[in-house]
Structure 1
Amino acid sequence: MSRIPALLIVGVLAFSTSADAQTDLWNLAQEHADTHRFSTLFTAQQVTSDLANDDDIDQAIRWCREMGITKVYLETFRTQHWADSQTIAHARDRFRKAGFLVSGCVTTTRVGKISTGWDLISCYTAKETQQQTRQIFEFTAGLFDEIMIDDFWFTDCQCEQCEKARANGRVVVDGETFDVDGDQWSDYRRELMLQVSKNLVLKPAREVNPNVSVIIKYPQWYDNFQERGYDVVRQTEVFDQTWVGTEIRDEFDERWGGRGRTTAYFLQSWLEGISGRKCGGGWYDTLGTTPATYLSQARQTILGGANESMLFNAGNLRFKDPGRSDAEALQDALPELLRLATQVRKRQAIGVTMYKPPNSEGENERRVFEFVGMMGIPFVTTDRFPNDADAAFFSVHALHDADFVKKLAQFLQSKRPVILTDSLAQKIAKDIDLSDDHFSILTLDGNVENAYSLPVKELSMLRDVVLKPLNLAITAPQRTAIYCYSDGSWVVENFNDKPIQITINGRSHCVEANHWASQWMEEH
């Protein structure tokens, strides 16, 4: 008997919870944990203040169950605060007895000698910092089989000691000397943090606990990784797992704004391409959020392929605003988010391929990917030149690939459509004939936010060209994110303050202001 595809249409952001209101979120979350899990973290300070006795632990367990959280991370160290080992162990055992997975976490703020840059960050050239780093991870490995490192695992120090080491091209860690390939601060810091990771985190932790798995969590600020010592290739190779910060702020928030609204999707999917099976999950918080942007973080983390979502942190979500309102919104949306994770897990995303080589800088196009993602064009990501892509997007980041021009010339021989930013086009104009009909130039004029200011007519023409080989025909306004799948399913996010009308392959749909919609092709 033939199988006939049917449409299952789901559209939600502030969906009605009448059917789900009676659902036991704890049991529902346990049933879906293999597909997607929600977790939270108690900071070292919160372990001390909020988990110090059984009554407090009972309340914390009750709240986690009500939220559908099935895993907790207990932090041992943050900003020179050490949580007491007996307090940690007792809370750990109570949560485990209640049916939770429990892991450890370390936030390496104000360890040893303080950086000349940000005063929360440390100088890892200094012996005192190296010694305390070892102590922190030996302590934590004695309590947990899994440890996550929060995304302060970097340095911006330029003290005299660091400058001398950089100039000499030598990193000294735990008494051993390592050569640095290059004379830039990024070269020195990447080698320094790699060797500190290997010799003062992983080695001592495994000596204490041979079963320990250590997670490096990369920050949200992907275009600055290499400047501060993150190396997503080499550190990913040595750590057991990778995570990433998938925070999305309200773009108009005075303190936290200025970021594109598709950051979480781009970063989660890009890092998954680098890490493969090592890629665990995404971590987001309440800073600069509204309930709508908080849920967008959750949704995009899932769309990007994460297996787990970390809700940072328990104290803010339980006791502070906007954390409490964000938590209530997530609690209402949890059944729908778990359904979304189930649908995404079954499918292969398709779209124009965005290329960002690891450790690449964006010059005047930093963060361009998250703004281009709001142009109503479906995108997928890659850290390697997209030889097999049906259509591709390239920014100045691509020039970090020394063979980029040669690879692009070969790519163009197949007449596949390409979008180039204007800055990249200017840099390669002498080497590539840009008059080819398969080129589209995206004019940003040095401001990545101009990506979603393209006039409607020009955007439609661009979309028609790049989506043709994907067999997609889409009309949508700016400030829209579209995620497409190989079976014809799709998800749309509307970042506008008014309803929008979209058309995908001849079918028209209305998406409410700051809401989302989805359509899944199910087989019967």
Structure 2
Amino acid sequence: MATRSTYRNFTLAVYCTAYDVKRMVDQKILENSFDAISRHIKIDKVYIENFRETTIIDKETVLKVKSFFENKGIKTSGGMATYLAENHRFKSWCYTRPETRETLRKVVRDLAEVFDEFIIDDLFFENCKCEECIKAKGSKSWKEYRLELMEDISRNVIIKTAREVNPKIRIILKYPNFYDHFQFVGYNLEVQPRLFDMIYTGTETRDPEYTMQHLQEYQSYLIMRFLENTKPGGNGGGWVDPLGRRTLDRYAEQIRLTLFTKPKEITLFSYGGLLEFIRQPDGSYMPVSTLASVAGRVLDETDSFLDSLGKPYGIPSYKPLNSSGEDFLHNYLGMIGIPLEITPKFPSEADTVLLTECAKFDPEIIDKIKNFLIKGGTVIMTSGLLNALNEEVLRELVAVEYTDKKAIVNSFTFFESWLSPSTHMYYSDTPIIIPQLKYATNDAWEFITAMDKGSGFPILLQTSYAHGTLYILTIPDNFNDLYHFPAEVLTQLRRLFMANMKLYMEGPSRICMFLYDNDSFIVHSFLPNPALCNIVVKGRVKLRELRFNFEPKGFERGSETVFSLRMWPYSYMVFKIE
């Protein structure tokens, strides 16, 4: 067995789809394609798929491919993908039908006979609405029916069948990137992570503008942290693909942000997707891999400093399992430089907690807020959660109401006290639509205000409760408009969110911060142009950049030290506070 070089801080896996495995029957294609990919990246493991859509790979072929990789010193695991392609959309199997269950059992048996581990790709959902499903659903909601159905399929078809064949089998369930919508198609975060040996995280964010999901770049990091907190120690890794991108930067960024979470493993999807084939003069095709070259550079670069970072952390944001509301807002806040950590458990021991609309799914949320405030904590509530809890907030916390009125604003100011008029106005580069919040004078105070034709509308309200402080943050109708808030407004928000942390950032949106518990941090720009920002650190300190080993010059400002940085497009720096 060959010995291969590896990365220091993570293992690298490549996923081979059933289509890839089918082509690997040709030994020449297998050898040449492996050479094209492996010259750029250090592969520790491959997932070998035996089923995708309607393609079934026979056991003999799977064993042949498995043997090839193992002879190269590469570990092997199985894989499967259960879906049907229909009009360029993903259509699930109908798991209501007995024949579907039997097909699934056969696929699982074949995998369990060959491998001691297999992963289920993130197409293991249920969106069928055939007549049989409609009848079986009965009076339940689709969400209720699908959660129950997919728990049954997970428990009694996949896991039971696999363990009957191979008692030592490890089964990994890969979750897709749409974490706020899992429960609507049967992904059950309350149950499945306990059933499966490991879970895995889809960190594919692709293009935030020109793809259907419009996922923000920061999500490649944040969803990893959320699923790690959902199954601590049981999140096997992050999974990236090169699809849906305009530039290679987007592919590199997804890999990089996945690695910023310090995962056990990262998987590149897919083996065939990494390849291009160049026609030769004799009519044959030579495989090459531009994507593997890009991935290899990012993997090597990030591996060089990951062991200098501590454990990732951020401002905790409570998201009950199987909840939704203000969907994916967390990632927009991350993109304006607020480091977040989504947690499925209410962080009662934290200093500060962010609560978005999804917290409404906890029937005890008002009591938890009150207890948190009584102990001296800071609660930052979004306008979406206020809307969901309007009457309860009014009765128990503060006289603030979400109304059905809107305001179109583009100027902003701050009020330090009710006696001090604002002295500066700050302007957005586009009009922004916000909901109007109504509040009672002296029961709540405007800290940040948006203006329109002489009238003011609160962006940030504050009130005291026992020993704590409650803030209510107005979220624009279009979350993307957060990026258009003036830099001065964004700085005030960062100072609020990060008041109990050692540092915060001054500057424009689309520059992110990633924090670690050993006083290291990363600053990453997703801007297409050069930009200036300040890193403000409490106390008299120095910074050292870890990749290039230099110390940026800082200056003292009161009790803080300020470091000015020039961020090049799509670049990042890694620092340690000294």
TM-score under structure 1 length normalisation = 0.85
Give the % identical residues.
Answer: 30
Q: Does the CA contact (< 8 Å) of 2:69 and 2:76 recur in 1?
A: yes
Q: How does 1:246-325 map to 2 (within 5 A)?
A: 246-253=203-210, 255-256=211-212, 258-289=214-245, 290-319=247-276, 324-325=289-290
Q: Secondary structure at the match of 2:495?
A: helix
2:69 alignment counterpart: 95
Q: Does the CA contact (< 8 Å) of 1:497 and 1:513 recur in 2?
A: yes
CA distance in 1, matches of 2:365, 2:87: 37
Q: Quick check: which has more Rg, 1 or 2?
A: 2
Q: Is 1:446 matched up with 2:477?
A: yes
CA distance in 2, matches of 1:491, 1:118: 37
Q: Secondary structure at the match of 1:468?
A: coil
Q: Is 1:330 matched up with 2:301?
A: no
2:423 alignment counterpart: none
CA distance in 1, matches of 2:195, 2:87: 28
Q: Does the CA contact (< 8 Å) of 2:94 and 2:128 recur in 1?
A: yes
The CA deviation string for residues 122-161 of structure 1, in whole angstroms up to 9 with x for no partner, is 1101111111111110111111111100011010112222
Letter aligned with residue 266 of structure 1: L
The CA deviation string for residues 271-311 of structure 1, in whole angstroms up to 9 with x for no partner, is 00011122101111111222211111111112234211111
1:521 CA displacement: 5.2
1:519 alignment counterpart: 575
2:530 alignment counterpart: 499
CA gap of 1:204–1:519, structure 2 versus 1, over 3 A, is same
Letter aligned with residue 515 of structure 1: S
CA distance in 2, matches of 1:186, 1:360: 11
CA distance in 2, matches of 1:188, 1:226: 10
**Number of residues of Structure 1 aligned to a counterpart in Structure 2:** 470
Q: Does the CA contact (< 8 Å) of 2:486 and 2:508 recur in 1?
A: no
CA gap of 1:466–1:320, structure 2 versus 1, over 3 A, is farther
Q: Does the CA contact (< 8 Å) of 2:159 and 2:171 recur in 1?
A: yes
2:335 alignment counterpart: 374
Of 377, 390, 407, the match for 1:416: 377
1:176 alignment counterpart: none
The CA deviation string for residues 186-218 of structure 1, in whole angstroms up to 9 with x for no partner, is 111111101111111111111111121111001
1:117 CA displacement: 12
Q: How does 1:39-118 map to 2 (within 5 A)?
A: 39-49=13-23, 51-66=24-39, 67-110=41-84
1:12 alignment counterpart: none
Q: Does the CA contact (< 8 Å) of 2:208 and 2:215 recur in 1?
A: yes
Of 470, 480, 498, the match for 2:501: 470
CA distance in 2, matches of 1:230, 1:132: 20
Shift >6 Å, 4+ stretches: 114-117
1:119 CA displacement: 5.8
The CA deviation string for residues 237-282 of structure 1, in whole angstroms up to 9 with x for no partner, is 01011001100212233x3562211111111000000111221011
Structure 1 vs Structure 2 CA RMSD: 2.3
Letter aligned with residue 380 of structure 1: E
Of 129, 133, 144, the match for 2:115: 144
2:411 alignment counterpart: none
Q: Does the CA contact (< 8 Å) of 2:261 and 2:312 recur in 1?
A: no
* Unaligned ranges ≥5, structure 1: 1-25, 169-182
Q: Is 1:127 matched up with 2:92?
A: no
* Unaligned ranges ≥5, structure 2: 279-287, 401-443, 445-462, 538-561
1:349 CA displacement: 2.7
CA gap of 1:494–1:117, structure 2 versus 1, over 3 A, is closer
CA gap of 1:192–1:288, structure 2 versus 1, over 3 A, is same
CA distance in 1, matches of 2:330, 2:497: 16
Letter aligned with residue 26 of structure 2: N
By relative contact order (CA 8 Å, sep 6+), the higher-ranking structure is 1
Letter aligned with residue 208 of structure 2: E
Of 186, 193, 204, the match for 1:229: 186
Of 195, 198, 202, the match for 1:245: 202
Is the deviation greater in 463-472 or in 223-232?
A: 463-472
More helix by share: 1
Q: Is 1:196 matched up with 2:153?
A: yes
1:451 CA displacement: 2.8
